[in-house]
C-alpha cells in the first residue's frame, strides 16, 4: 500500500518539505501526495522530477493526487558538480530605475553570450518581471534556458504582483527549492 502525505490547505513550502521527508524514508514503492492548488502540485512534481522519480497526477474532488513512484536505487538527488546560482531580487540593477533597466538588460545579454553559464537563475521580488510578458530580456533568458540554464521564478512573488499567468520563461518555484539550490551551489551571486 502506498504511503500518503495529505498537504491540503498547507502554505508553500510545506507540501514540498513533507514530500521530501516522506521520499527520504521510502526505499521502494509509491508515495501519494494530496494537494489542493496548482502551485503545490507543480512544486511537488518538480521535486519528484529532480530526484528522477516517476509521477502521475489525478484530479478528483477539488484536489490533486500526485503518485510518486520510486524503485530501489532510483529516485535519488541528482548531483551535479559545483555550480553557480544567480539571484535577481529586482527588475533593475542598482538604485537608479532608468539606468538600472539598461544595466540588467546588458548583464543578461552578456551572460547569454558567455561560454561559462550559471546552473540556475532565480527571480525574486520585482525580479519576476524579467521572466514575464513585456520583459525586454525574454529572448536572452529563453536562449539561456535552451542552453541548459535553469530559470526559476518565485511563485509567491508572481502571485503578489498578479503576474503568474504572464510567466513567459522558466518555471515557478518556492522558497524551499530556492534555499536548497542556494545551499547546494558553489557560488551564489545576488543582483538587484
pLDDT tens figures, 138-147: 999 999 999 9
Give yes or no: residues 63 and 92 share one domain.
Answer: no
The CATH code of the domain that includes 136 is: 3.40.1260.10
Residue 52's domain comprises 3-70
Domain end call among 38, 70, 102: 70
* Residues 6+ positions from 56 with CB-CB distance below 8 Å: 66, 67, 69
* Residues 6+ positions from 13 with CB-CB distance below 8 Å: 43, 174, 175, 176, 177
Residue 70 has pLDDT above 50, yes or no: yes
Give yes or no: residues 49 and 103 share one domain.
Answer: no
Does residue 75 lie in a domain region? no
Does residue 77 lie in a domain region? no
Give phi and psi for 118, each to the nearest 5: -70, 160
What pLDDT shows up at residue 2? 64
Report the residue count for the chain. Answer: 192
Which tens digit of pLDDT belongs to each residue from 15-40? 988 998 898 888 778 899 999 998 88
The CATH code of the domain that includes 28 is: 3.30.110.40
HSE of 21 in the Cβ direction (CA atoms, 13 Å)?
11
**Helices 14-24/175-184 angle, 10° precision:** 60
Which tens digit of pLDDT belongs to each residue from 93-122? 999 999 999 999 999 998 988 888 999 999
Q: Are strands 84-88 and 187-191 parallel, antiparallel or unpaired?
A: parallel
What does 34-62 look like in DSSP terms, one character per residue?
EESSHHHHHHHHHHHHHTT-EEEEEEETT
User: Average pLDDT for residues 166-178, to the nearest whole number?
Assistant: 95
What pLDDT shows up at residue 80? 41
Give yes or no: residues 139 and 66 share one domain.
Answer: no
Give yes or no: residues 107 and 64 share one domain.
Answer: no
Contact call for residues 84 and 181 (beta carbons, < 8 A): no
Contact call for residues 141 and 130 (beta carbons, < 8 A): yes
Domain count of the fold of the chain: 2
Domain end call among 70, 96, 118: 70
Domain end call among 70, 105, 124: 70
Q: At 173, is the pLDDT very low, low, confident or very high (cuts 50, 70, 90)? A: very high
Does residue 93 lie in a domain region? yes
pTM score:
0.67
Give yes or no: residues 102 and 137 share one domain.
Answer: yes
Amino acid at each position: 500500500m502506498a504511503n500518503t502525505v495529505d498537504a491540503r490547505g498547507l502554505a508553500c513550502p510545506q507540501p514540498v518539505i513533507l514530500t521530501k521527508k516522506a521520499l527520504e524514508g521510502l526505499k521502494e514503492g509509491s508515495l501519494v501526495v494530496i494537494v489542493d492548488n496548482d502551485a503545490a502540485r507543480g512544486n511537488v512534481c518538480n521535486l519528484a522530477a529532480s530526484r528522477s522519480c516517476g509521477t502521475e497526477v489525478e484530479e478528483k474532488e477539488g484536489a490533486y493526487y500526485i503518485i510518486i513512484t520510486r524503485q530501489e536505487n532510483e529516485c535519488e538527488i541528482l548531483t551535479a558538480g559545483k555550480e553557480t546560482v544567480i539571484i535577481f531580487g529586482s527588475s533593475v540593477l542598482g538604485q537608479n530605475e532608468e539606468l538600472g533597466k539598461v544595466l540588467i538588460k546588458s548583464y543578461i545579454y552578456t551572460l547569454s553570450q558567455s561560454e561559462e553559464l550559471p546552473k540556475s537563475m532565480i527571480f525574486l521580488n520585482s525580479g519576476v518581471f524579467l521572466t514575464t510578458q513585456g520583459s525586454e530580456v525574454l529572448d536572452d533568458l529563453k536562449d539561456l534556458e535552451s542552453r541548459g540554464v535553469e530559470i526559476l521564478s518565485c511563485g509567491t512573488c508572481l502571485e503578489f504582483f498578479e503576474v503568474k499567468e504572464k510567466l513567459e520563461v522558466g518555471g515557478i518555484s518556492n522558497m524551499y527549492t530556492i534555499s536548497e539550490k542556494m545551499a547546494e551551489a558553489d557560488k551564489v551571486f545576488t543582483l538587484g
